[in-house]
Amino acid sequence: MLKYKIVLAGAKDVGKSSLIARFCDDVFHERTMETIGVAFKRKNINVNDKISINLAIWDMGGEDKYKALLPQYIKGATAALILYDTTNKETIDDVNSWVEIVNEYASEDIIKVLIGTKIDLKDKREITKMEAEELCSKQNWCAEMIETSAKTGENVEDAFLNVANEIVKRNLQKCTGCGDYFSIKLKICNYCGQSV
């Protein structure tokens, strides 16, 4: 089983824990417990019928005092999901500070995705998708963004699937012999011995 670490970051109450709960356990709670420090979950995801990868998903507490933990936890991460709340403008202003930490402490080739949350709250929306996309490219935060709702489940699976697809694209190659996927760092398939 191929294992990868992904880290969620973003201001308090943007919906990090809720996104993980929807993705991992298919549940949603209107009232959630504040994440103290760092929480952790594992989940397998199938990228196509051939590859199943195991995601170790790290949930960071959003308060400033926990921001100090990110440098330590982002090390060795394959992807960082940076969340803002589409119903709270302040949270997108906070994205920059999280991206800066990721850029400083993560490996250079880390996959970064910006995620807008709570799109079920249509009447409360303060940031349009277009505004977020513009900010994202102007500030050079990352290449990809997606909007989600942990309440309805909209785009939640897709948010993680996009990351998983990108992980596969960057890290694995398909063996011309057996058809299995193996690390791009290897010159010989570790399943059947076929050389690249």
Ligand X SMILES: Nc1nc2c(ncn2[C@@H]2O[C@H](COP(=O)(O)OP(=O)(O)O)[C@@H](O)[C@H]2O)c(=O)[nH]1
Residues that bind ligand X (CB under 6 A): 12-18, 29-32, 35, 62, 117-118, 120-121, 149-151
* C-beta closer to ligand X: residue 32 or 165: 32
Minimum distance from CB of 151 to ligand X (Å)? 4
* C-beta closer to ligand X: residue 12 or 43: 12
For residues 4 and 9, give the distance between their C-alpha atoms in angstroms, rounded to a whole number.
Answer: 17
Helix 156-171 with 16-25: angle, nearest 10 deg: 80
* C-beta closer to ligand X: residue 35 or 162: 35
The two structure tokens encoding residue 19: 């996104």
Burial of 109-140, coded b for 16+ CB within 10 Å and e otherwise, reads ebbbbbbbbbbbeeeebebeeeebeebbeeee
In sequence order, the 6+-apart residues with CB closer than 8 A to the CB of 171 are: 2, 4, 78, 183, 184
For residues 24 and 27, give the distance between their C-alpha atoms in angstroms, rounded to a whole number.
Answer: 8
Contact pick of 15, 17, 95, 99 for Mg ion (by CB under 5 A): 17
Minimum distance from CB of 191 to ligand X (Å)? 39
Minimum distance from CB of 20 to ligand X (Å)? 8
Instruction: Give, as ranges, the residues between 22 and 61 that touch Mg ion (CB under 5 A).
Output: 35
Q: Is 155 in the site for Mg ion (CB under 5 A)?
A: no
* C-beta closer to Mg ion: residue 55 or 135: 55
Which residues are at the interface with Mg ion (CB under 5 A)? 16-17, 35
